Amino acid sequence: MEPRSTLIWLQTGRITGATSLSNVPVVATEMAFILEIQTDNYWADVTVDMRKEIRVKLRNLVELIKPIERKIVITEFEDEIGPEANVDLPDVGSGVDKGCFTMKVRKFLDDHANHIALLKQKHAEQGLGIFCAL
């Protein structure tokens, strides 16, 4: 989520409902922070650490906010399917070519021969439960 869209979410979304819960002690302790993150200045130079701080501080507050009722929107339209048309896809084969697939797998294994997972599998060493489960 982009910083600006996060700000919009905070301004129009569920977190703004927290300001109406200022009489709850848990919310009251974070009220200054909630009001601060709703300003444009806070989001001018936002960093990953700042966003993490928001997530951590507000994680427990979100469940206190009652969801708002929204109007149900019903759309009624007919889906029109046009006439059938063949599409030429020159790079896509008509099925699975086992020889080509085997070549690709061998090339992958050769290119990654020194990868720890492949070395452990090759030498039948334990340590990777995913290969043991298969």
| Domain annotation covers residue 69 | no
For 71-130, what is each residue's pLDDT tens digit?
Answer: 888 888 888 888 888 888 777 766 777 888 889 989 998 998 888 888 888 887 665 455
| Domain annotation covers residue 123 | yes
Give ∠ CA 86-91-97 in degrees, rounded to 5.
105
| Domain annotation covers residue 76 | no
| Domain annotation covers residue 103 | yes
| Domain annotation covers residue 73 | no
| Domain annotation covers residue 23 | yes
Number of domains in the chain: 2
122: containing domain? 98-133
pTM above 0.75, yes or no: no
For 18-65, what is each residue's pLDDT tens digit?
Answer: 566 777 788 888 888 888 888 888 888 888 898 888 888 888 777 777
User: Do 7 and 49 fall into the same domain?
Assistant: yes
| Domain annotation covers residue 128 | yes
Residue 33's nearest CA partner among 19, 49, 17 is 19
